[in-house]
Structure 1
Amino acid sequence: MTTLVVPDYDAARAFYIDALGFDLVEDTDMGDGKRWLVVEARGGGRLLLAKAADDAQRSAIGNQTGGRIAFFLETENFTECHHRFVAAGVTFHEDPRHEPYGTVAVFSDPFGNRWDLIEPLKAA
Protein backbone atom coordinates (compact mmCIF):
# COMPACT_ATOMS: atom_id res chain seq x y z
CA MET A 1 0.00 0.00 0.00
CA THR A 2 1.21 3.51 -0.84
CA THR A 3 0.15 6.72 0.88
CA LEU A 4 -1.06 9.53 -1.38
CA VAL A 5 -1.52 12.94 0.24
CA VAL A 6 -4.69 14.66 -0.97
CA PRO A 7 -6.48 17.93 -0.12
CA ASP A 8 -9.90 16.38 0.50
CA TYR A 9 -11.08 12.87 1.32
CA ASP A 10 -14.36 13.01 -0.58
CA ALA A 11 -12.86 14.47 -3.77
CA ALA A 12 -10.12 11.84 -3.76
CA ARG A 13 -12.58 9.03 -3.08
CA ALA A 14 -14.83 10.21 -5.91
CA PHE A 15 -11.99 10.43 -8.44
CA TYR A 16 -10.34 7.12 -7.69
CA ILE A 17 -13.61 5.17 -7.42
CA ASP A 18 -15.90 6.94 -9.91
CA ALA A 19 -13.44 8.06 -12.60
CA LEU A 20 -10.73 5.38 -12.41
CA GLY A 21 -12.91 2.51 -11.26
CA PHE A 22 -10.90 1.60 -8.17
CA ASP A 23 -12.65 -0.41 -5.47
CA LEU A 24 -13.27 0.93 -1.98
CA VAL A 25 -11.43 -1.23 0.55
CA GLU A 26 -12.07 0.80 3.70
CA ASP A 27 -13.35 4.22 4.76
CA THR A 28 -13.21 4.47 8.54
CA ASP A 29 -13.69 7.62 10.59
CA MET A 30 -10.67 7.94 12.89
CA GLY A 31 -11.99 11.01 14.74
CA ASP A 32 -10.73 14.59 14.67
CA GLY A 33 -11.44 14.85 10.94
CA LYS A 34 -9.17 11.92 10.02
CA ARG A 35 -10.20 8.89 7.99
CA TRP A 36 -8.56 5.62 7.03
CA LEU A 37 -9.47 5.68 3.34
CA VAL A 38 -8.08 2.84 1.23
CA VAL A 39 -8.85 2.20 -2.44
CA GLU A 40 -7.56 -0.56 -4.66
CA ALA A 41 -7.00 -0.80 -8.39
CA ARG A 42 -8.59 -3.83 -9.96
CA GLY A 43 -5.92 -6.49 -10.05
CA GLY A 44 -4.09 -5.08 -7.03
CA GLY A 45 -2.31 -1.99 -5.84
CA ARG A 46 -3.72 -0.13 -2.86
CA LEU A 47 -3.63 3.58 -2.06
CA LEU A 48 -4.15 5.09 1.37
CA LEU A 49 -5.71 8.48 0.58
CA ALA A 50 -4.48 10.70 3.41
CA LYS A 51 -5.74 14.26 3.86
CA ALA A 52 -2.91 16.74 4.28
CA ALA A 53 -2.69 17.80 7.92
CA ASP A 54 -0.32 20.78 7.77
CA ASP A 55 1.34 23.27 5.41
CA ALA A 56 4.27 20.98 4.62
CA GLN A 57 1.92 18.18 3.59
CA ARG A 58 -0.34 20.55 1.64
CA SER A 59 2.68 21.82 -0.30
CA ALA A 60 3.48 18.24 -1.38
CA ILE A 61 0.06 17.56 -2.91
CA GLY A 62 0.49 16.79 -6.59
CA ASN A 63 4.26 17.03 -6.39
CA GLN A 64 5.14 14.07 -4.24
CA THR A 65 7.62 12.85 -6.87
CA GLY A 66 9.02 16.20 -7.98
CA GLY A 67 6.96 16.29 -11.20
CA ARG A 68 7.86 12.79 -12.36
CA ILE A 69 5.36 10.04 -13.08
CA ALA A 70 4.26 8.90 -9.65
CA PHE A 71 2.19 5.82 -10.43
CA PHE A 72 1.73 3.21 -13.14
CA LEU A 73 -1.71 1.78 -13.82
CA GLU A 74 -1.62 -1.34 -15.97
CA THR A 75 -4.53 -2.50 -18.11
CA GLU A 76 -5.13 -5.44 -20.41
CA ASN A 77 -7.19 -3.27 -22.80
CA PHE A 78 -5.66 0.17 -23.23
CA THR A 79 -8.19 1.44 -25.76
CA GLU A 80 -11.23 0.56 -23.66
CA CYS A 81 -9.69 1.93 -20.46
CA HIS A 82 -8.49 5.13 -22.14
CA HIS A 83 -11.95 5.81 -23.63
CA ARG A 84 -13.62 5.18 -20.26
CA PHE A 85 -11.20 7.53 -18.48
CA VAL A 86 -11.67 10.29 -21.07
CA ALA A 87 -15.46 9.95 -20.77
CA ALA A 88 -15.10 10.28 -16.98
CA GLY A 89 -13.19 13.56 -17.38
CA VAL A 90 -9.67 12.31 -16.66
CA THR A 91 -7.05 14.74 -17.99
CA PHE A 92 -4.50 13.16 -20.35
CA HIS A 93 -1.33 15.09 -21.23
CA GLU A 94 -0.68 13.28 -24.49
CA ASP A 95 -2.20 11.02 -27.07
CA PRO A 96 -1.61 7.29 -26.59
CA ARG A 97 1.77 6.20 -27.89
CA HIS A 98 3.30 2.86 -28.73
CA GLU A 99 6.64 2.09 -27.11
CA PRO A 100 8.78 -1.06 -27.21
CA TYR A 101 7.33 -2.01 -23.81
CA GLY A 102 3.65 -1.33 -24.65
CA THR A 103 0.97 1.30 -25.21
CA VAL A 104 1.07 4.24 -22.79
CA ALA A 105 -0.31 7.72 -22.09
CA VAL A 106 0.28 10.11 -19.20
CA PHE A 107 -2.66 11.43 -17.18
CA SER A 108 -3.08 13.38 -13.95
CA ASP A 109 -5.42 13.04 -11.03
CA PRO A 110 -7.24 16.26 -10.02
CA PHE A 111 -4.50 16.99 -7.48
CA GLY A 112 -1.61 17.02 -9.96
CA ASN A 113 -0.14 13.53 -9.48
CA ARG A 114 1.04 12.12 -12.79
CA TRP A 115 0.22 8.57 -13.84
CA ASP A 116 1.09 6.29 -16.74
CA LEU A 117 -1.82 4.29 -18.10
CA ILE A 118 -0.08 1.36 -19.72
CA GLU A 119 -0.88 -1.84 -21.51
CA PRO A 120 2.36 -3.79 -21.38
CA LEU A 121 3.47 -5.55 -24.53
CA LYS A 122 2.64 -9.21 -24.21
CA ALA A 123 5.58 -11.57 -24.27
CA ALA A 124 5.83 -13.68 -27.41
Structure 2
Amino acid sequence: MLRLQNVTYLVRDQDEALRFFVDALGFEVRQDQTFDGGWRRVVVGPAEGGTGLVLAVGAADAPVGAQAGADVAFFLETDDFAQAHSRMLAHGVRFREEPRHEPYGIVAIFEDLYGAPWDLIEPPRA
Protein backbone atom coordinates (compact mmCIF):
# COMPACT_ATOMS: atom_id res chain seq x y z
CA MET A 1 0.00 0.00 0.00
CA LEU A 2 1.22 3.49 -0.83
CA ARG A 3 0.35 6.59 1.19
CA LEU A 4 1.35 10.21 0.84
CA GLN A 5 3.22 10.78 4.11
CA ASN A 6 4.10 14.48 3.90
CA VAL A 7 4.07 17.37 1.44
CA THR A 8 6.25 20.45 1.52
CA TYR A 9 4.41 23.65 2.34
CA LEU A 10 6.36 26.85 1.71
CA VAL A 11 6.31 29.42 4.50
CA ARG A 12 8.04 32.71 5.28
CA ASP A 13 8.62 31.88 8.95
CA GLN A 14 8.27 28.49 10.61
CA ASP A 15 7.20 29.83 14.02
CA GLU A 16 4.50 32.01 12.44
CA ALA A 17 3.28 29.03 10.41
CA LEU A 18 3.32 26.78 13.48
CA ARG A 19 1.04 29.18 15.35
CA PHE A 20 -1.41 29.24 12.44
CA PHE A 21 -1.57 25.50 11.86
CA VAL A 22 -1.60 24.51 15.54
CA ASP A 23 -3.73 27.29 17.04
CA ALA A 24 -6.12 28.17 14.22
CA LEU A 25 -6.49 24.80 12.49
CA GLY A 26 -5.89 22.48 15.44
CA PHE A 27 -3.03 20.53 13.86
CA GLU A 28 -0.42 18.79 15.98
CA VAL A 29 3.33 19.19 15.78
CA ARG A 30 4.72 15.90 14.52
CA GLN A 31 8.34 17.01 14.36
CA ASP A 32 10.25 20.14 15.30
CA GLN A 33 13.92 19.38 15.17
CA THR A 34 17.02 21.44 14.44
CA PHE A 35 19.95 19.61 12.87
CA ASP A 36 23.67 20.33 12.60
CA GLY A 37 24.21 23.46 10.57
CA GLY A 38 20.99 25.04 11.85
CA TRP A 39 18.58 23.37 9.40
CA ARG A 40 15.18 22.98 11.07
CA ARG A 41 12.55 20.40 10.06
CA VAL A 42 9.02 21.19 11.16
CA VAL A 43 6.12 18.87 10.33
CA VAL A 44 2.49 19.44 11.32
CA GLY A 45 -0.68 17.54 10.53
CA PRO A 46 -4.16 16.67 11.72
CA ALA A 47 -4.16 15.04 15.15
CA GLU A 48 -6.16 12.11 13.80
CA GLY A 49 -3.46 11.22 11.28
CA GLY A 50 -3.09 11.59 7.55
CA THR A 51 -0.69 13.52 5.40
CA GLY A 52 1.55 16.03 7.15
CA LEU A 53 2.87 19.38 6.01
CA VAL A 54 6.62 20.00 6.10
CA LEU A 55 6.85 23.73 6.86
CA ALA A 56 9.81 24.76 4.73
CA VAL A 57 11.10 28.32 4.54
CA GLY A 58 10.96 29.36 0.90
CA ALA A 59 13.67 31.28 -0.90
CA ALA A 60 13.12 34.99 -1.46
CA ASP A 61 11.51 34.31 -4.85
CA ALA A 62 9.51 31.23 -3.75
CA PRO A 63 5.75 31.22 -4.43
CA VAL A 64 4.77 31.37 -0.75
CA GLY A 65 0.98 31.59 -0.65
CA ALA A 66 0.70 30.83 -4.34
CA GLN A 67 1.97 27.28 -4.62
CA ALA A 68 -1.10 26.36 -6.70
CA GLY A 69 -1.60 29.74 -8.30
CA ALA A 70 -5.10 31.04 -7.51
CA ASP A 71 -6.54 27.52 -7.19
CA VAL A 72 -7.42 25.68 -4.00
CA ALA A 73 -4.56 23.25 -3.35
CA PHE A 74 -5.57 21.88 0.04
CA PHE A 75 -8.89 20.42 1.17
CA LEU A 76 -9.26 20.22 4.94
CA GLU A 77 -11.89 17.61 5.81
CA THR A 78 -13.80 17.67 9.08
CA ASP A 79 -16.61 15.65 10.60
CA ASP A 80 -17.89 18.75 12.44
CA PHE A 81 -17.97 21.75 10.13
CA ALA A 82 -19.62 24.09 12.64
CA GLN A 83 -17.01 23.41 15.31
CA ALA A 84 -14.04 23.75 12.94
CA HIS A 85 -15.50 26.89 11.34
CA SER A 86 -16.07 28.49 14.76
CA ARG A 87 -12.55 27.65 15.96
CA MET A 88 -11.02 29.11 12.84
CA LEU A 89 -13.08 32.30 13.02
CA ALA A 90 -12.13 32.71 16.69
CA HIS A 91 -8.47 32.61 15.63
CA GLY A 92 -8.93 35.24 12.94
CA VAL A 93 -9.00 32.97 9.90
CA ARG A 94 -10.53 34.81 6.94
CA PHE A 95 -13.28 33.01 5.04
CA ARG A 96 -13.94 34.16 1.49
CA GLU A 97 -17.55 33.01 1.65
CA GLU A 98 -20.28 31.81 3.94
CA PRO A 99 -20.58 28.03 4.35
CA ARG A 100 -22.61 26.48 1.57
CA HIS A 101 -24.30 23.12 1.11
CA GLU A 102 -23.24 21.21 -1.99
CA PRO A 103 -23.95 17.63 -3.08
CA TYR A 104 -20.44 16.74 -1.88
CA GLY A 105 -20.91 18.32 1.57
CA ILE A 106 -20.77 21.56 3.54
CA VAL A 107 -17.92 23.70 2.26
CA ALA A 108 -16.37 27.15 2.54
CA ILE A 109 -13.15 28.60 1.15
CA PHE A 110 -10.79 30.11 3.70
CA GLU A 111 -7.35 31.67 3.47
CA ASP A 112 -4.20 30.48 5.13
CA LEU A 113 -1.79 32.93 6.74
CA TYR A 114 -0.45 33.92 3.30
CA GLY A 115 -3.82 34.36 1.60
CA ALA A 116 -3.79 31.03 -0.25
CA PRO A 117 -7.25 29.46 -0.65
CA TRP A 118 -8.17 26.22 1.10
CA ASP A 119 -11.48 24.36 1.31
CA LEU A 120 -12.94 23.43 4.67
CA ILE A 121 -15.33 20.58 3.93
CA GLU A 122 -17.59 18.19 5.79
CA PRO A 123 -18.62 15.39 3.44
CA PRO A 124 -22.22 14.20 3.57
CA ARG A 125 -22.95 11.52 6.11
CA ALA A 126 -23.83 8.08 4.79
- Please give the TM-score of this superposition, normalised by the length of structure 1: 0.91
Q: Following superposition of structure 1 onto structure 2, how do residues 23-102 of structure 1 map, counting pairs within 5 Å?
A: 23-43=28-48, 44-52=50-58, 54-57=59-62, 60-102=63-105
CA RMSD, 1 decimal? 1.2
Q: For 1:92 and 1:33, how far apart are their aligned partners in 2?
A: 36
- Please give the TM-score of this superposition, normalised by the length of structure 2: 0.89
Q: Within the alignment, does 1:112 sit opposite 2:95 as a pair?
A: no
Q: For 2:7 and 2:61, how far apart are their aligned partners in 1?
A: 19
Q: For 2:38 and 2:91, how far apart are their aligned partners in 1?
A: 29
Q: Return the match for 2:13 from 8, 11, 33.
A: 8
Q: For 1:67 and 1:31, how far apart are their aligned partners in 2?
A: 37
In structure 2, runs of 5+ residues without a counterpart are 1-5
- Deviation, structure 1 residue 19: 1.0
- Deviation, structure 1 residue 113: 2.1
In structure 1, runs of 5+ residues without a counterpart are none
Does the aligned pair in 2 maintain the 1:61–1:112 contact within 8 Å?
A: no
Q: Return the match for 1:21 from 6, 19, 26.
A: 26
Q: For 2:37 and 2:94, how far apart are their aligned partners in 1?
A: 33
After superposition, the Cα gap between the structure-2 partners of 1:80 and 1:27, relative to the gap in structure 1 and judged at 3 Å, is: same
> Percentage identity across aligned positions?
47
**How many residue pairs align between the two structures?**
120
Q: Deviations over 1:48-94 (max 9, x none)?
A: 00011x2332xx00000011001011000101110111011111110
Show structure 1 runs of 4+ deviating over 3 A.
none
